[in-house]
Homo-oligomer: A and B are copies of this chain.
Amino acid sequence: MRDVQGDADYRKIPIKQVGIRELRWPVLLKDKTRGVQPSVAKVSMAVDLPHNIRGTHMSRFVESLQTLEAISPESLERVLDALKERLEAQKAFLTLQFPYFIAKEAPVSGQRSLLDIECVYRAQKADAMRLRMEVAVPIHTLCPCSKEISAYGAHNQRATAKVEVETNGFVWIEELVQLAETGGSTAIYPLLKRPDEKWVTEKAFENPRFVEDAAREIAIRLESHPRIAWYRVSVDSIESIHNHNAFACIEKDWEDAKP
């Protein structure tokens, strides 16, 4: 059968990325406490395509994914290398988005339960591999203005602190989550008994935070972290007194990234 994809192309337009998206795939993740943790990822894979070739070979993306072992910088790089080789590309891209569960203890009762964190790994390789990790961590923010001007109470809400980093060494998901949680008036827990709820309520009231505060508190810690070369922080607050969200975003300039 003729290989139509391999036809010559005369339109002189190189393609930055061509591949597959919205593929779901079971994955295994390194877990700081339990060794390994299963999850389900949404996967995107792509390569570049030179101007003189008509099409890529889509089935090879899925084939390359089948060799993926437990997710690590090394296993991601092996898939990128396979893509480059099998598809004769200069550059390969692999993105995985998946929920990851963290065991959390309630602050007073100590009861344990699981908190889901939405994570994204974005890997690409031309010569050297670059890897971005992103975690979206639920936090609780209590409004400093509302507390200051009101006789009692203060509006508060669930917010999401999204932290995206490039590292110059290994960093656990767990570590990024802890870092993101420092941005909130308090952390979020999957399971709280009454003494825990009292603790969380009072802790938040003592520690009011705008989205701007939350983003800055997280940025300070990312800035001083020895293995984080670059970061972007974005805090989105599901405002409880409005039907829209408030957000603040801080990003390290790429030129200032630590080597």
Name the segment of A74-82, A127-135, A139-147 touching the other chain: A139-147
User: A246: which of B20, B155, B157, B188 is its contact (CB, 8 Å)?
Assistant: B20
Contact (Cβ within 8 A) A202 B152: yes
Contact B155 A153 (CB under 8 A): no
Q: State whether A243 touches B188 (Cβ < 8 A).
A: yes
Given A149-B197, A202-B151, A248:B192 Cβ within 8 A: no
Residues of B within 8 A of A11 (CB): 216-217, 220
In contact, A212 and B21 (Cβ under 8 angstroms): no
**Do residues B155 and A156 form an inter-chain contact, with CB atoms below 8 A?**
yes
Q: A104-147 vs B: 1/0 string, CB under 8 Å?
A: 00000001011110000000000000000000001010101110
Residues of chain A from 57 to 82 with CB closer than 8 A to chain B in the complex: 58-59, 62-63, 66
A18 and B113 in contact (CB under 8 A), knowing A238-B157, A243-B190?
no
What's the Cα separation between A157 and B204 when bound, in Å? Answer: 13
Which B residues touch A223, using CB under 8 A? 13
Q: Is the CB of B197 within 8 A of A146?
A: yes
Interface membership of A228, Cβ < 8 A = no
Residue contact A153 to B216, C-beta cutoff 8 Å: no
Within 8 A of B (CB), among A1-45: 1-5, 9, 11, 13-26, 37-40
Collect the chain B residues with CB atoms within 8 Å of residue A155's CB.
Answer: 140, 156, 197, 200-201, 204
Residues of A within 8 A of B (CB): 1-5, 9, 11, 13-26, 37-40, 46, 49, 54-56, 58-59, 62-63, 66, 99, 101, 111, 113-116, 138, 140, 142, 144-146, 148-158, 186, 188-195, 197-198, 200-202, 204-205, 210-213, 215-217, 219-220, 223, 236, 238-251
